[in-house]
Amino acid sequence: MIYKRSSELFASAQKVIPGGVNSPVRAFKAVGGDPVFIKEAKGAYLYDEDGNQLVDYINSWGPLILGHAHQPVIDALVERAKKGTSFGTPTELETKIADLAVQMVPNIDKIRMVNSGTEACMSAVRLARGFSGKEKIIKFAGCYHGHSDSFLIQAGSGAVTFGTPNSPGVTQGTAKDTLLATYNNLESVQQLIDANKGEIACLIIEPVPGNMGCIPPKEGFLEGLRELCDANDILLIFDEVMTGFRLAQGGVQQRLDVNADIVCFGKVIGGGLPVGAFAARNEIMDYLAPVGPVYQAGTLSGNPLAMAAGLAMLEELSERSEIYDSIEEKTEYLHKGMEKALKANDVVHTINRMGSMISVHFAEEPVVNFDSAAAAASNGKFNKFFHGLLENGIYIAPSAFETWFITEALSYSDLDKTIAAVENVAKDL
Ligand code: PMP
């Protein structure tokens, strides 16, 4: 495939945008080469500036469960845009989407809309600190919760891809309040609790991480965290920015039947527009301004365009629960097909999957936490795999520390095309 115009556009972009991109992982720095510039998208496909059609497994990093330019979402947006794009006042739409989210997600009474996943997680932690009167937080190596200061301590996604787990600009003062645990390892959490008795406000986690590839929790891990949090008066925050409304209508809380105290959302809840949200039971949410003392705000928060797109998306997901079985079956089909293709070519690998999230790691050892994900990524095979797939018209995330997202728009023939591409690429791995 030819990517000439994309390379030209990238050269122009680099003159006026740092690194040519507005979010680092898009620059292909980890895998090498120039990023693909996309012109438009429909359903399962991206169409780039050189006229190539690509089968998309990123789907805007997760939100597009129903595929690109999904008609009901586009119709809702167009209708809404004609009536004005932002008022900075309350609108009925905000209550409608909040009502629906509260019905779909277990264990929450109220939800506050923000503009990104970063804002959602940052605000959730402030709320937890304000509510508990404590300052320290526990996060897990390899979990990404956006780019606010407290979280840039061994984060996943672009933050590890770029080797800046502790970004300059994050003060020592902030860093010292973030304690690092190991995913799938309760003992590591217990040790931090023992060493910081009575000081920990909350524990934030991607309950099923997607930012070190997809890593399913070991049996009992999330339940164990719930018990540790209860026993030590620590608020449990599930960052469901990727998993919310994706792994089940009610996210991981519903799918794995573990309750969090605060839940963060992003992406999906805006149907592809810039939205995030955080939610909890009344007692906690009423600690927020203007009712309570914890301040949090946003000029464009809950703006009508984002709410209209999000509502159209959530309505369809709530009415068509069969979508969840369908995307899971597609993911299983892809898993089996890729496994067969890699095995047939003696490529050492591990495939992780839960629901419609899946990732391929080039190591024999199980990938269960950040260290094992990093070990699998260190042999350079992922980069060859990525470029091989791209040459075959398959677009996966340009980093070994990401998950693939399966959408309802992908057909079985798209999946077969992908499996055939994997078989092709496997011959050279
Ligand atoms: N949490 C998780 C789990 C995420 O995957 C992301 C983004 N990939 C974020 C938070 C941050 O969201 P945003 O990029 O919208 O700020």
Instruction: Give the mutation target among 205, 242, 252 for probing the ligand 1 site: most ligand atoms within 8 A of CB.
Output: 242
CA nearest to 157, candidates 372, 353, 402, 398: 402
Asked if pLDDT for residue 412 goes beyond 70, the answer is: yes
Check residue 169 and give its pLDDT: 87
27: Cβ contacts below 8 Å, ≥ 6 apart: 19, 20, 21, 35
Q: Which residue, judged by its Cα, is nearest atom 1 of ligand 1?
A: 145
Report percent pLDDT > 70 for the chain: 97
Q: Is 170 in the pocket of ligand 1 (CB under 6 A)?
A: no
Q: Is 261 in the pocket of ligand 1 (CB under 6 A)?
A: no
ipTM score of the complex?
0.99
Asked if pLDDT for residue 353 goes beyond 80, the answer is: yes
pLDDT in tens, 48-73: 999 999 999 999 999 999 999 999 99
Average per-residue pLDDT for the chain: 95
Instruction: Give the mutation target among 22, 23, 118 for probing the ligand 1 site: most ligand atoms within 8 A of CB.
Output: 118
Asked if pLDDT for residue 163 goes beyond 50, the answer is: no
As annotated, the active-site residues are 144, 239, 267
> Which architecture characterizes domain 4-69+321-426 according to CATH?
Alpha-Beta Complex (3.90)
Q: What CA–CA distance (Å, rounded) separates 276 from 289?
A: 18
Residue with tokens 């009901």: 72
272: Cβ contacts below 8 Å, ≥ 6 apart: 60, 63, 64, 73, 309, 313
What is the assigned CATH class of domain 71-319?
alpha beta
Q: Is 403 in the pocket of ligand 1 (CB under 6 A)?
A: no
C-alpha 427 – ligand 1 centre gap (Å): 35
Which range has the worst mean pLDDT, 124-138, 145-159, 262-276? 145-159
Q: Is 251 in the pocket of ligand 1 (CB under 6 A)?
A: no
pTM confidence score: 0.97
C-alpha 274 – ligand 1 centre gap (Å): 11
Q: Is 145 in the pocket of ligand 1 (CB under 6 A)?
A: yes
Confidence of residue 171 (pLDDT cuts 50, 70, 90): confident
Asked if pLDDT for residue 172 goes beyond 70, the answer is: yes
Check residue 176 and give its pLDDT: 87
Asked if pLDDT for residue 364 goes beyond 80, the answer is: yes
Three-class DSSP labels, the chain:
CCCHHHHHHHHHHHHHCHHHCCCHHHHCCCCCCCCCCEEEEEECEEEECCCCEEEECCCCCCCCCCCECCHHHHHHHHHHHCCCCCCCCCCHHHHHHHHHHHHHCCCCCEEEEECCHHHHHHHHHHHHHHHHCCCEEEEECCCCCCCCHHHCECCCCHHHHCCCCECCCCCHHHHCCEEEECCCCHHHHHHHHHHCCCCEEEEEECCCCCECECCCCCCCHHHHHHHHHHHHCCEEEEECCCCCCCCCCCHHHHHHCCCCCEEEEEHHHHCCCCCEEEEECHHHHCCECCCCCECCCCCCCCCHHHHHHHHHHHHHHHHCCHHHHHHHHHHHHHHHHHHHHHHHCCCCCEEEEECCEEEEECCCCCCCCHHHHHHHHCCCHHHHHHHHHHHCCEECCCCCCCCEECCCCCCHHHHHHHHHHHHHHHCCC
Mean pLDDT of 190-216: 97
Check residue 206 and give its pLDDT: 98
Q: Is 405 in the pocket of ligand 1 (CB under 6 A)?
A: no
Asked if pLDDT for residue 200 goes beyond 80, the answer is: yes
Asked if pLDDT for residue 161 goes beyond 90, the answer is: no
Confidence of residue 164 (pLDDT cuts 50, 70, 90): very low
Sheet holding 394-395, edge to edge: 38-42, 45-48, 53-56, 394-395
C-alpha 118 – ligand 1 centre gap (Å): 6
CB atoms < 10 A from the CB of 149, how many? 16
Asked if pLDDT for residue 103 goes beyond 50, the answer is: yes
C-alpha 1 – ligand 1 centre gap (Å): 31
Q: Which atom of ligand 1 is nearest to the CA of 146?
A: 11
The answer to whether residues 209 and 183 touch, using CB atoms and an 8 Å cutoff, is: yes
Asked if pLDDT for residue 268 goes beyond 80, the answer is: yes
Q: Is 418 in the pocket of ligand 1 (CB under 6 A)?
A: no
pLDDT in tens, 298-319: 999 999 999 999 999 999 999 9
Q: Is 211 in the pocket of ligand 1 (CB under 6 A)?
A: yes
C-alpha 33 – ligand 1 centre gap (Å): 25
C-alpha 153 – ligand 1 centre gap (Å): 15
Q: Is 146 in the pocket of ligand 1 (CB under 6 A)?
A: yes
Instruction: Give the mutation target among 215, 262, 267 for probing the ligand 1 site: most ligand atoms within 8 A of CB.
Output: 267
409: Cβ contacts below 8 Å, ≥ 6 apart: 43, 44, 64, 66, 67, 68, 70
Of residues 168 and 282, more confidently modeled: 282
C-alpha 292 – ligand 1 centre gap (Å): 26
* Boundaries of every domain in the chain: 4-69+321-426, 71-319
pLDDT in tens, 377-409: 988 899 999 999 999 999 999 999 999 999 999
Check residue 155 and give its pLDDT: 64
Check residue 158 and give its pLDDT: 63
Which range has the worst mean pLDDT, 96-100, 176-180, 203-207, 418-422? 176-180
Cβ-based burial of 364 (10 A; exposed 0-12, middle 13-18, buried ≥19): exposed
